[in-house]
Amino acid sequence: MTNFRDKIVLGRTGLEVGRLGVASSYGVPSAALEAAFEQGVNYFYWGSRRTDEMGTAIRNIAKKDRKGLVVCVQSYARMGFWLKRSVERALRALGLDYADVLLLGWYNEHPPPRIMDAATELVAGGKVRHIALSGHRRTLFPTLLDDQRIGLWQVRYNAVHRGAEREVFASLDGLDLGKRPGVITYTTTRWGHLVDPKRTPAGETTPSGADCYRFAMSHPHVDVVMSGPANAEQMREALRSLELGPMSDDELARMRRIGDGIYGKDRTSGVRD
């Protein structure tokens, strides 16, 4: 991938998406979200913390171009009945007939049959098109490769925490795009630590938000990188990653050095993995 502005196919889901996604939780204004959509950002993540601004943007965009919009609805429900209810409630709030993606949130083991049955019933009923899964135990994901019901993996990945490279991404080597799950990454700035000058190792220049997004996008097995802008300026900074494109080998090495420096100075790094 040499141009981050080009849309890609999101693994075996067949969804066509931009490389940058945007989450609902941080307060970016609806006007900035709608402008981002016009620049190719079409993966909108309706997560656990939901803002009126994101809801407004989704409703406005859907009225004009529902087919071009990819809406992911997250649920932490651990009972099939409540999973269905949470999806139905989200769709009502957004004025949508269906969600493109249902994200089953925070599973460190394979979801139990009651959850998978409810999720597949939502797909069969047309309320959801594809199922995604997120979790913090990275070694779980390769065990899901043959489960065709799960079309998307959402994993933590940034310049500080790169364990996904060996524990998740390596399992996708050599697989055809149409046969592997799509990969979405999050926590790209490491909770803002990568862009904090106080945490930057001596002798290094503090990365920008765009640098952090470009680092993750530059990995060949990363399809969509989630952003969490709190305002229009942060949204513009995230969009700058699309303009700048893939990182060079030298830029990637710099980000890894900075990431290693931050990891080594933070006593909680191992826990945060």
Contact indicator for 12, 148 with CB cutoff of 8 Å: yes
Pairwise CA distance, residues 5 & 15, whole Å: 16
**Residue 80 structure tokens:** 């099939």
Digit-coded pLDDT (tens) for 135-178: 999 999 999 999 999 999 999 999 999 999 999 999 999 999 89
| pLDDT value for 266 | 83
Pairwise CA distance, residues 55 & 183, whole Å: 24
With vertex at residue 54, the alpha carbon angle to CA 238 and CA 242, rounded to the nearest 5 degrees, is 20
Contact indicator for 90, 46 with CB cutoff of 8 Å: yes
Q: Was domain 16-266 assigned CATH 3.30.470.10? A: no
Residue type, 129: R
| Sequential DSSP letters for the chain | ---TTS-EE-GGG--EE-SEEEESTT---HHHHHHHHHTT--EEEE-SS--HHHHHHHHHHHHHHGGG-EEEEEE---SHHHHHHHHHHHHHHHT-S-EEEEEE---SSPPPHHHHHHHHHHHHTTSEEEEEEE-S-GGGGGGGTT-TTEEEEEEE--SS--THHHHTGGGGTT--TTTSPEEEEE-TTTTTGGG-GGGSPTTSPPPPHHHHHHHHHTSTT--EEEE--SSHHHHHHHHHHHHH-SPPHHHHHHHHHHHHHHHHH-TTHHHH-
Nearby residues of 160 by Cβ (< 8 Å), 6 or more positions away = 190, 193, 194, 259, 260, 262, 263, 269
Exposure pattern of 37-55 as b/e (b: 16+ CB <10 Å)? beebbbbbbbbeebbebbb
Pairwise CA distance, residues 44 & 36, whole Å: 11
> 129 in the Ramachandran plot: left (φ > 0), alpha (ψ -120 to 50) or beta?
alpha
Digit-coded pLDDT (tens) for 26-70: 889 999 999 999 999 999 999 877 889 999 999 999 999 999 999
Digit-coded pLDDT (tens) for 182-201: 999 999 999 999 999 999 99
| pLDDT value for 48 | 72
Share of the chain above pLDDT 90, in %: 92
Contact indicator for 163, 132 with CB cutoff of 8 Å: no
Digit-coded pLDDT (tens) for 217-261: 999 999 999 999 999 999 999 999 999 999 999 999 999 999 999
